[in-house]
Amino acid sequence: MFRSSRSQTGADGETLALAYLQKQGLRLVERNYRVARGPSRRGGEIDLILRDRDGTLVFVEVRARASADRGGAAASVTARKRASLIHAAQHYLIRLPSPPPCRFDVLAIDGSQIAWLPGAFDAG
């Protein structure tokens, strides 16, 4: 399923994650939302932004690993990565006239195993 290049593995993981979440009833709003902190500094990227059935806006970080070695995919979402996601989500939300309820999910893929972690972390 996954190819050898790291970026292709990430893209394949995002495609698999999107299909999985859509089967759970979520609808895609945006994919690969990117924001910069300045002319030469990356600010963050949100892999998937979806809308849950209850209207909640869901920011999803997708992590794909060939296996669960070294803690697995979910464990690779570090404090720095969470801060980057929160920054990008805040940037996304300021564009909306009335921000809906939101949450941060992680979808971890370890080999052929998928783990969806709704509300994996908070912005506060």
DSSP state of 26: -
CB distance 63 to 109 below 8 Å: yes
- Confidence band for 9, pLDDT divided at 50, 70 and 90: low
- Which fold would CATH assign to domain 6-121? Trna Endonuclease; Chain: A, domain 1 (3.40.1350)
Domain ranges within the chain, ordered by starting residue: 6-121
Question: pLDDT tens digits for 52-102?
Answer: 999 999 999 999 887 666 778 998 899 999 999 999 999 999 999 999 999
Rg (CA), the chain: 14
- Say how many Å lie between the first and final Cα of the chain, rounded: 37
pTM: 0.88
Give the pLDDT of residue 40: 63
What average pLDDT is seen over the chain? 88
